[in-house]
Every structure is written in structure tokens, then in C-alpha cells.
Structure 1
Amino acid sequence: MQEKFDILVAKCGKSIGLKGEIHLNIYSDFLDIFTRGNIFRCGDLMLTLESFNVHKNSAKFSEINDIESAKMLNSHNLYSSKTLTEKYCNLGENEFFWFDIIGLKIYDGDLLLGEVAEIERIVGVDYLVVNVDRDLLDSGASSNFGDFGNSSVGVSSKNSKKKPKQKIFLIPYIERYIIKTDLKNKRILTQDTLGILEES
């Protein structure tokens, strides 16, 4: 089975010069992924990296050799594979790939809030885009779990009567809210995130 190239690493920008060089808007934290010879998918094209200028964030692909071809890639996303990402991107302690976090369950205390659908980076901060748990939407937090003002979640009783209205909400992936990312049990333990949902 052919491996999928579905890990977003960059977006192609404007062409540079006459020989097909392209400016990249980088989404990956690991520039080693842009190693000469690596393969990327851009739309229906499979591209081989010929060179990468780390100072200019510009790339030259073997298959793109003129300005017109380069212009056709403008605004198209560039994808790597999971295998190549794991090979070239060395994680530090308490660091995780986005594709490992997507699909994890979000808990605030013992309360299941939902599941990570995707991750967005906004002004340098990663946000978990969470699909709210359907049971929570259908019943409302207060009807299932009583007065949260007296619980370890730390949400005041003033807000505990609110029923989540949105199917999606955002959680900043920062220490203020994230207690532990538990890949083994496929969950993320958080604090004070029910309040974010109720105020969304």
C-alpha cells in the first residue's frame, strides 16, 4: 500500500527568479524535513527537493525548472509523509507530532469535552480545534455533572448552568491549560477548559 503524503509542512508562495525557485511559508517546526532528495506532494504532483535556502525559506524542486511552472504552485500546500516526518524530525521531551495529537480525547478533570479534530497555529501559538462531545451537547454540562462551582474543574456556579452551544471550540496548547498529553491512553488532560467551552 502506497504511503499517504498528508502531513502539511508548508505552503508554496511566489516564484523567485527564472529557474523555478519558490518561496515557502513554513508550517513545520523541523527544517530538517527540507533535506535535499526528500519527496513532497503538491496537489497531484510529487516533487523532489533539489535545494533549500534556510535564510530565505526558498526551495528548488527538480521537476520545476521555469517561472511559469513555479507560478502554478503558488498558494498550494506542500505535504510530507508520516515516515519521512518521523525520520527527519527529532522530538524533544514532551514534544509531539500534530498527527499524534489529532484524534485524542480532551478531558477537564473527569469530564470528556470532546476530541481533537485538527490543530491551528495562530500568532505562534498552537490551538487544539476540539469537536465537542455529542453527549455533552445533547445534555448540557449542568444536567449531567451538577454544580461545577464545587468541583475540581474550577468553573464557577454562575457559568455551570450554561449548555455548550458550539460544536467546535479552541484550546491553546500551553501549560496554563494542558496538564498532560497521554498518547498511550489517547487523551489529553486539561484544566479550566470547560470554562473556555462555556464562554465560546
Structure 2
Amino acid sequence: MTEAQAWDTYSKQRPERRPTNAAGENTWFNWTQYPDHGPGAELLGVGPGASVLDLGCGKGGNLAHVATLGARAVGVDVSLAQVKAAESRWRHTGMTLHRTEAIQFLKESGERFDAVFSVFGAAWFTDPTVLLPAIRQRLRPGGVLAFSQRPPIEGCYGCQGSYINRSEDEDPLVVKRWDHEPERWVEILAEHGFTAATARILPAPPGHRKIGTLLVRAHG
């Protein structure tokens, strides 16, 4: 089974984003795995007229919010199911979607971006030694790279296996992910020419499991 088919399977398991959030908003930005929690799109530092790229845009909820801010919102996802879901719900926002791999898009696109982001997306599931140089080629000088994912399991760093469950009669699908501690992410970003890098773990909101969210930000 291909990587695209694995993420198609994942898409079927993920619920649609709620019609509105706790504040009654139709679009919003969520870096974490918990609803109505954590910072928002202000971390990207963009406004009307900016060009923003989402790597692994999924069903498009975060990208749709970026589009409502007046930015040119471009999303990439390898899963046809995810792209179709994003188009079905958010086409009216004017976002542009591409069904392709993140690396392929970055290498073939001639567009430059003011910000690149990934929320539990391609930045987690792509080798950073390949992805980061490709992002820098597409990021305007001083542009922002930001991404979020689950923190690493203690002692399990680098390339790891991540399971996508199927039915009880089928073996789970396996995709690769890259886990590092916050301090190591800062070092990796510096090694690839990024500046002002920060990485921190946002605690889970009260009443939830104790797993927080790793949030990384740097300038190109």
C-alpha cells in the first residue's frame, strides 16, 4: 500500500471540523490536538496579501482560516481523500490545493512564500534533512516556518514508525515520522540555515491527558 493510500485510510477515521468553535467562529487556527487550545495564526506573522503554504493540509481547516485573513493560501496533501474533503467544505475561501507530496511540490513550484506551516502534517512525516532545505528554497528571506506535532517519547528519537489502524482483520499501516526533543529541533533548524528558532511543549489543557504539543517556529 502506498503512502497516499495510508493517508486516505487515515482521512476516513478523522472527524470533520466542527461548524463553529467555542467562540462561535466559522474558521479558526488550531496548532494542538485539543479544541479551543493554544495560540492561533498570529504565530505565522502574516496578513492580507501574504503568501502562505500548508504542508500536509489535511481537510483544510487551518488553511481556510489563513485564507480568511486575506492571504494567498496554498495547501499540499498526498491524500486525494483529504484534498477532496478540503475542496468540498472550503472552496469558497479561495484556497489553492495540490494533491502531491510535500517534497515534490517544494522542488517543482516556482512560488515563494512568506510563511510555511505544518500542523501534525508533512513536517512530522518527512525527513527534515530533505524537507528543511526544500522549504528554505521556497521561503522568502525572513519568512516564518512553524510546525506542531506530538512530543517525542523519551528515548525514541529520529525516524520512528507510526501506525494507522484499520479493521480488526487487517494489519495496521505504517508510516515514518521524525521525533526530536525541542532542543534538538532548534539545533537541526540552525544546521539548515534557519534563524531565531524556538521549540517548546505546550501543556495539555486542564482535564485532558498529559500529552502536550510540540510547537516549533523559526525564520528562513
Q: Name which one, 1 or 2, has greater alpha-carbon Rg.
A: 1
Higher normalized helix content (fraction of residues):
2
TM-score class, shorter? under 0.3
Q: TM-score, normalised by structure 2?
A: 0.22
Higher normalized strand content (fraction of residues):
1
Q: TM-score, normalised by structure 1?
A: 0.24
